[in-house]
Amino acid sequence: MFSSLKGFTSNINSNYTVAQHTTSTAGPWKIYDATNKKTKKPCSVFVFEKKSLDAHGSSLSRSSAAAFKRTTEEVVERLKKEASSLARLRHPSVLELVEPVEDTRGGGLQFATEPVTASLADLLAQKDDQERSGGVGGRSSRYVTEEADGTRRRRDLEIDELEIQKGLLQVSKALEFLHETAGLVHGNLTPEAILVNSKSDWKISGLGFCSPPENSTKPTSVQPISLSEVLNLDSRLPKFVQLNLNYTSPDFVLDNNLNPSADMFSLGLLCVALYNSPHRSPIEANASVSAYKRLFNSSSTVPNLQNDFLASRPLPRDLSAHVLPRLITRRAAQRMTAKEFQESEYFDNILVSTIRFLDGFPAKTPNEKASFMKGLNKVLPSFPKSVMERKILPALLEELKERDLLSLILQNIFKIIELLPSSKRAFSEKVRPRLKEVFVLLAKPQQAQEKDPARDAGLMVVLENTNAIANNCNGKEFKDDILPILVVAFESPTPALVDVAMRGLPVILPVLDFSTIKNELFPVVAAVFSKTNSLAIKVRGLQAFVILCGGTNDPSGGDDGLDGFGVEKKKTSSSSALDKYTMQEKIVPLIKAIKTKEPAVAMAALSVLRVVGDVADADFVAMDILPVMWHMSLGPLLDLKQFQSFMELIKTLSRRVEEEQTKKLQELSAGASGNGRALENEDFMAFGGVTGTAFETANGAAEDDFESLVKGKPSVHSSDPMDAGWDAAPAGARASSPPVKSSTAPAFSWSTPSPTTAAANSGGGSVGVIKAQSTFRTVTPDLGRFESLTPSATQFSQPLQPANSTSSTITSPQIPTANPWASAAAPMPPPTSSISSMSIGMDQQRPQMTSGPSSFSLAPPPSASSSTPTGFSLPPPPGGPQRNASSSSFGGSSGFGQPSAFGTASTSSLSSIGSMMGSTAGTGMAAMRPMNSGMGMNSMNSMNKMAGMNSMMGSSNTTGMGMGMTMTGQQQQPQKPAANSKSGLDKYESLI
């Protein structure tokens, strides 16, 4: 800051924040911008530095120095008098004093006043620079001002015709106050004594030479001046601390007469200087009294009507013809007074009259105020921009306290904002804080719930100008100051205000950020939508939801007069729209809660659901949105076109759900196919087989994995039928057999049950029956564990009996039915007398065992319900009717009762039979050798073991071989057995 204030404690330095740089000068004073630390109100600080005087007397002698010191002390006292006089005078056209004058550390002075932009002298100097650089219409004059935080900006200042008229009118009012009310004479009315404040008002200052006039009877505390002392100019002092003879009346210099008319002569010279180029007085005395006197000795050097008042430019006709001749005149009695000056033809125009009416606005009647505000809107475009911004706009903002005129005043305020080129600055600095103060800060909470016609009318004007507000403030300013006003409008009990507030959302949203929209604006709109009983507000709320979700209520782009008040709307960006969660969890439930069936509400809700449906998840659309739409579409008041609109959107959203769900399932199917194809015919009601006998193919195990595991040898797949396992089925039977669903546990039985029993006893099963997809496998027995085959009796001693290893319940024997392999008329064969026939035939008549199930149970006979052949069963003949298979002929007319007597019996069963039957059992065992492939013997080792067993059984092998060959031939080719064809045993005779 300035050096004189550094380190010096004073009231101004303690309570005010003073800028570092000067904004202007006024005579000996330097002007600084300042701000009150407590109230934050701006002001200006005037500082006089005494060292500006000391510099002029530094080279004087000792005697002259003493005289100079006395002179400087007189100057300081005169300047102190100037500030003191401001404290005694209170008038709108006199500079207002905020802090009284005080001494500085360097012997100077300082005081604080209302905010001041510049002095008139500085403005005229800037105007001269402008005209010299570019002539009329050149660069506008600008002044740099510094804020309290150190930021600097430029102010536009203009001096045009209206500005001059307005300023002169204000100066004349100040003179009228001094002359008639205060009883003082200014004495030094110059451009340096006139200051322009922040409202562009001209204020009088520079009262260092003011004095009561001669022979004045009005009491005053101002000490009179001595004209002889004042006119004794000291050349050693700066000119700006002495009387300026260029604007001094001849009454002082020539007549030595101190009267109020002298100020009117100075006012006339000031008028000519305002229009002159350069802007100087027509009298140039050069601070010399003798030079001044010489100028008045000749009429040619004195300004008058004949020489156009020595002006370098043409003066306004009214001013030169009617005003100046009565101001710049030698005789004081012929001069007009300050009041007469205000009533002259010079101020007789609509613009000046408007300003004069506005200055006296508080004293007008309510009807006059209302009429003035209605007509002001038409006159505003004629005003200069500077006058509108600095004079009219602040005056209108001050009058916002008139609640009855709130709407009219706001209309003019927004008109000025529209006309100003620097509207953003004016709105941000002046209008926006005032609007918040009027509608939010000064409003009582209970007033928001009550109807106030004056306030509602003002709010309506603000809402209608939302676009202008959004264009002239940033997001933070809008959120802090304007959004609270909009919330007041949303919560207003007046439906018209709520309607207009919701229509302004397309303009509001682009200015706000996402967090503010979601957390502050949307809850207010949702609350209004939920609580309102007005059908129009319900519809408008739904339209507001569309805007909040990023949509538009006018897809065609037409103007229905309801969106944005006829102004250009800003496109809602995705960043200012609500998120998907809020749409799904907040907006859709509000639509579900709608009770009314009105078509207007339903169609507005359809618009909301259309926007939400484009963003929401597919499952949410299916489970939440589509049911709501179906419910609304069936409303009884909808017409055909409206119903079709619902159906169109329902179909569109349904297709979207279908496509996304299909895509999802396809992706899941593609992922599952990598781990193995699912079984298409899998019975999900099946519970699997018995533990230890079932192998699931889903786990990737092959059928021969277990055998390879227990034998410790790698599995080798071979096409040789001799390599087949015990449970391998013939190729023909396996290829042609359909899948059989059987998950029941197998049961052991010596005889094959009848079809009736097999059908009824579904819990039984056979190891020879293969489940679909090879779910079951027979376990290859360990032949090494067989005991030695020592018969307990001779073959003729007693009939064959099963071992009583387990207790069982004996049921009645099953009566065999017709043989499916014989002809229809073939009778039952008589029982054979051979021991083999007896041993095998007894199985047919042996009672059925009902003990617990065994893994080596016999398979049920082929029937209509279960005809799948296994490795141990005979396939049905190709052609011919399906007969009961309770018994079969062995070689045509054999007495064997069951076709599976050898085909399905386990190795352990055959071993037991062989031990009891002696050599006859060998016949049955030898009969099994040609059926290696059907018995599931999948290694040559097993065949060798069986061959060894046959060699010990005697000479009955030939008979068993013949029987086996007959049965094998009957099994593979039941209709045409080849007489000369070799059996399976002959083919592998060398192995035996």
Neighbours of 804 (CB within 10 A): 7
**pLDDT for position 737:** 43
**pLDDT for position 646:** 94
Q: Hey, what amino acid is at 124?
A: L
The CATH superfamily holding the domain 513-556+574-665 is Leucine-rich Repeat Variant (1.25.10.10)
| Structure-token pair, residue 338 | 């300050």
CATH of 11-134+142-347, picked from 3.30.365.10, 1.25.40.340, 3.40.50.150, 1.10.510.10, is 1.10.510.10
Handedness of CA 206, 212, 218, 222 (dihedral sign): positive
First-to-last alpha carbon distance for the chain, in angstroms, is: 128
373-378: long-range contacts at Cβ-Cβ below 8 A with a sequence spacing of 24 or more?
Answer: 373/405, 373/408, 373/409, 373/411, 373/412, 374/408, 376/412, 377/411, 377/412, 377/415
Regions of the chain short of the pLDDT cut 70: 1-9, 55-63, 134-158, 443-450, 554-576, 673-707, 710-992
Closest CA to 196 of 126, 114, 117, 124: 117
How many CA atoms are closer than 13 Å to the CA of 861, on its beta-carbon side? 27
Q: For the chain, state the CA radius of gyration.
A: 60
The pTM assigned to this predicted structure is 0.59
**pLDDT for position 11:** 85
**pLDDT for position 991:** 47
The per-residue pLDDT for range 498-540, each reduced to its tens digit, is 999 999 888 888 898 899 999 999 999 999 999 988 899 999 9
CB-based burial label for 682 (10 Å; 0-12, 13-18, 19+): exposed
With the CA atoms of 123, 128, 132 and 137 taken in that order, what torsion angle do they form, in degrees rounded to the nearest 10?
60
**pLDDT for position 950:** 45
**pLDDT for position 601:** 93
| Structure-token pair, residue 920 | 């006859």
Q: Hey, what amino acid is at 91?
A: H
